[in-house]
Structure 1
Amino acid sequence: MKIAANECIHCNSCVRACPSVFDAIVNVSHDVIIVPELCSGCPKCVAACPVDCIYPDPDWEPTTDVSIWDEVRRG
C-alpha cells in the first residue's frame, strides 16, 4: 500500500485501522507513511481512509524475512 501525501488530510484513521500486530503506518514529521516491511497487505487502512488516498503499491511484496514478525509480535 502507498499513501498519496498530496491527498492525505492527516486524520490518522489509517494509523488507527492498521492492526496493532503490524503497526505499519506511522507519522513521520508532517507525513503519514506505510512501512512496507511491516505491512501485511490487508486492506484495513484503505477502508478507513475518508479521502481514499491509500493505493495498492504494484511493487510491494511481502517480506521474506519471517523473523521480523517475531519482533513485531514481541513489541
Structure 2
Amino acid sequence: MAIYITEECINCGACEPECPNTAIYEGGVPWTWGGGTSLDEVELEDGTSVPADEDQEPVSDEFYYIVPAKCTECTGFHEEPQCAAVCPVDCCVPDPDYEETQEELEQKKEWLHQEA
C-alpha cells in the first residue's frame, strides 16, 4: 500500500529528498508525474493523456503529502519506506485507502522508471 503523511506532520521536510520516486511534495506545491520518473506522458483512468511535466493539484495545502499513484514504498530501491525511516514524528504511515501487493508495487516501480 502507499504511504501517507498524517496531520501530525511538522513540515520539517526530512522525507522529501529521501523518496526515490519524487512522490513527496511540500504542502500547496503542485506535483508532476514526470518528476523523479522516466515518464513522458501518462494516460489517466478516464482515458485522457497528460504530459508528465504538467502540474497537478496539490494533495494537501497544509503539510507535506505523498502522491499515492507514485508511491511504491521504496520497492526496488530500499528495504523499507525511507520517508517513514527518517520522519522524526512517525507521521509517514501505510495508507489503508491504497492497498497494493508487493507485485503491484514492483510493477508500479517498473512503470515509473521505464527504460527508453
Common fold by TM > 0.5: yes
The answer to whether the aligner puts 1:69 opposite 2:112 as a matched pair is yes
**4+ long deviations beyond 3 Å:** 62-68
- SS of equivalent to 2:88: coil
The partner residue of 1:41 within 73, 87, 97 is 73
CA offsets 1:32-63 (integer angstroms, 9 cap, x no match): 11001111113110001001111111232347
* C-alpha displacement of 1:70: 4.3
Residue type of the partner of 1:11? C
- SS of equivalent to 1:2: strand
Paired residues, number: 70
- SS of equivalent to 2:83: helix
Which structure's residues are more often helix, by fraction?
Answer: 1
| Structure 1 length-normalised TM | 0.73
Query: Structure 2: which 5+ runs fail to align?
Result: 29-61, 75-80
Larger CA Rg, structure 1 vs 2: 2
**Percent of counterpart pairs with the same letter?**
40
